[in-house]
Structure formats: structure tokens, C-alpha cells
Copies of this chain bind each other. A is one copy, B any other.
Amino acid sequence: MTYCVGLLLDAGIVLLSDTRTNAGLDNISTYRKMFTFEEPGERVIAILTAGSLSVTQTVLARLTEAAEDPDASETTSILKAPSMLRVAQMIGSTLSDVTAEISGRMNRMSQSASASLIVAGQRKGGPMRLFLIYKEGNFIEATRDTPYLQIGEHKYGKPILDRVVTPETSLMDAQKAVLLSMDSTLRSNLSVGMPLDLCVIECDGLKVSQRRRIEPEDPQFSKMSKAWSEALRRAYTEIEI
């Protein structure tokens, strides 16, 4: 399993992903699930992945290869596509192709493979956008009504987002919200695990403004997690029924 979350705020985009990958409970590894593509001042794109590693790695490899191709064009490279919408379409179509190819082979063994992605970013002159790309390649977009998107194990971490995130939330508060959302998920689902990757993209910055890997023993995260537990217990004690 996986938990990735993205927030689209007036001040920018905040993204968080875990790194746990497992093929059965007895085969656990750490793989990065957050990937960024930048041309500072021109465009910034972040991709978060959930699902079958064979699918997500192939998708990323193809997108990277296409972007590095000297003959790359507007229709083949996410670094040249004229808008974030085109970027989402291009990634969706790559995901759909890869899933179909791999599933063709898997089906012969009565198995299947699929993946979903969060794609976020901004192109110079355009708005910031945040998409969730389904395994079939179609996608939805975050709006002011629901300014966040999640992939993977989304349930445990949803209540806190519903309660505190609005488009006006500051980038600092937004980091707190996604970290607390991840904290609830880490506690309840063993297949979501540290370290975490956090990324902040400020509005109109057209680059990754902040990138942080949070290791299991990170003192700041541990302190926050402990303070949240205590605050919840205190709130529970004080509530009257």
C-alpha cells in the first residue's frame, strides 16, 4: 500500500508521500514515490505514485526518456507540453498504455497490475493545478471546494484534511496538515511507512521551493506526532457527553 496526498492552496502546492513498497507482508522495501521535473522559471511538475511498482517505474522511465530525447516535442515531453492539462493528459495516456501492456501479460496468469498518480505543478503564465490520474488514464482535478487529492490508503488520514484544509490555508499550516494526516495513516496501516518525502511548490515560483526527506527518527516529526496524540487525548478528556 501507499499513502500520498497533495494540497492545492492559494499560496502553493504541498505534497507528501511515504516510501513503503511491499510484495506480500514478508517482502518490504523502501522506494521513492515522489518525482519532480523542473525547468526553473519555466515549469515545475511533481508526480506521486501508488500501486504496482512495475507499472509506476515504467511510467516514470518513459516520461523521463521522452523528456530527455533531443527530438522531444510539445506532444511527447512533459517538459515541453504547452499546459498542465496537456501534461496530465500525456501522463494519463502513458499510464494507460503501460497498464494495458503489463496487464496483458499478467492476465495470462490471472493476475493484474495497476497504479494511480497525483500530478501537480505549474507552467509559466498558467495556474497551478493538481490532478489525480486513475489507472485507466482518465483524471480528476482538485478544486476550491475540495482542495486536496489522495491516493493509496486514504481513509485514516482524511478526517483531519476535511476539518482543517481550505484554499486559504498557509503553506506552513498545510505541511502540518499533511504530516498529521500521514501520522494517522502510519499508525493504522503497516503497509504505509517512513521515511516520508515532503515537497512544497510556491505559487508562481516555478520551481521546487522546498524538498525534505523525513527519516524514521526525525526529531521534529516525532515531537509533532507525540504532541498531536497528547492534544487528542486531552481534547477527548475535556469533551462532555
Interface residues of A (CB under 8 A from B): 155-156, 158-160, 162-164, 172, 175-177, 179-180, 184, 187-188, 220, 223-224, 227-229, 231-236, 238-241
Q: Among B158, B172, B223, B232, which residue has its beta carbon within 8 angstroms of that of A235?
A: B232
Q: Among B187, B234, B239, which residue has its beta carbon within 8 angstroms of that of A227?
A: B239
Q: Among B164, B179, B239, which residue has its beta carbon within 8 angstroms of that of A241?
A: B179
Residues of B within 8 A of A177 (CB): 236
A165 to chain B, nearest CB (A): 10
Q: A156-B156, A158-B156 are in contact. Are A235 and B235 (CB under 8 A)?
A: yes
Please give 15 more A-B residue pairs, beta carbons under 8 A apart, in addition to A160-B232, A162-B188, A164-B233. A155-B156, A156-B158, A159-B184, A159-B188, A160-B236, A163-B236, A175-B241, A180-B236, A224-B239, A227-B240, A228-B235, A231-B236, A231-B238, A232-B232, A235-B235
- Nearest first, the 9 A-B pairs at minimum CB distance are A231-B235, A155-B155, A176-B241, A159-B184, A224-B241, A227-B239, A164-B236, A235-B235, A158-B188
29 sampled A-B residue pairs with Cβ under 8 A: A155-B155, A156-B156, A156-B158, A156-B159, A159-B184, A159-B187, A159-B188, A160-B236, A162-B187, A163-B232, A163-B233, A164-B233, A176-B236, A176-B239, A176-B241, A177-B236, A179-B241, A180-B239, A220-B241, A223-B240, A224-B239, A224-B241, A231-B235, A231-B236, A231-B238, A231-B239, A232-B232, A232-B235, A235-B235
Residues of B within 8 A of A162 (CB): 187-188
Distance in angstroms between the alpha carbons of A229 and B164 in the assembled complex: 10
- Copies of this chain: 2
Residues of B within 8 A of A172 (CB): 241
Distance in angstroms between the alpha carbons of A153 and B18 in the assembled complex: 24
Inter-chain contact A239/B233, CB cutoff 8 Å: no
Distance in angstroms between the alpha carbons of A163 and B229 in the assembled complex: 7
Q: Among B180, B184, B220, B239, which residue has its beta carbon within 8 angstroms of that of A228?
A: B239
Residues of B within 8 A of A179 (CB): 241
Distance in angstroms between the alpha carbons of A231 and B163 in the assembled complex: 11
Residues of B within 8 A of A187 (CB): 159, 162
Closest to A234 in B: B235
Closest to A154 in B: B155
